[in-house]
Amino acid sequence: MTVKIYSTPTCPYCMRAKQFFKDNNIEFEDIDVSTDRVRAEEMVRKTGQMGVPVLDINGEIIVGFDQEKIKSALGL
């Protein structure tokens, strides 16, 4: 399973999403779009917007911290 989170250090919903992954022992790649312009552009291509968090769970894109959608995508 591949889990990526496009985030910024000051985003409270990003922090909640990362804590959710940690609490559920889900490995994830944390991509800081505030410092990585290339990955920020990648996020915009995937979603058409600049808002974070953006979660990419096995290719399923979830914008925002929607716990039910995240659980569904993870099969929890």
pLDDT band at 2 (very low <50, low <70, confident <90, very high): very high
Q: Is it the case that residue 1 has pLDDT exceeding 90?
A: no
Domain definitions of the chain by residue range: 3-74
What pLDDT digit, counting tens, does each position of 16-50 carry?
999 999 999 999 999 999 999 999 999 999 999 88
* pLDDT for the residue 38: 96
What pLDDT digit, counting tens, does each position of 46-70 carry?
999 889 999 999 999 999 999 999 9
What is the homologous superfamily of the domain 3-74 according to CATH?
Glutaredoxin (3.40.30.10)
CA distance 70 to 12: 17
Write down the mean pLDDT value for the chain: 95
